[in-house]
Amino acid sequence: MSERPIDALDRAKGKKVLVKLKNSQEVTGTLRALDLHLNLWLEDVEIQGKETKKKFRIILIRGDNILYASPV
């Protein structure tokens, strides 16, 4: 069966990913689950803004905020 774009991330489950948001913030964390809207469940997360860094144990990112995502 032909590969889907989402498989690029699906194969990274349990591994670290970098997520670039449309607002230009960068999120890194371990990918636990994802769906076709690109909603992402991440764990052990860092969010890097222009001057701030935040840490979370668990976050759910709403997919429509995402520019691109990359397995690290």
16, 30, 41, 48: which one contacts a copy of itself (CB under 8 A)? 41
The DSSP bridge partners found for residue 33 are 41
28, 32, 44, 48: which one contacts a copy of itself (CB under 8 A)? 32
63 touching a copy of itself, by CB under 8 A = yes
68 touching a copy of itself, by CB under 8 A = yes
* Rounded-to-integer distance, Cα 33 and Cα 60, Å: 9
40-48 and 53-61 strand pairing: antiparallel
14, 50, 51, 64: which one contacts a copy of itself (CB under 8 A)? 64
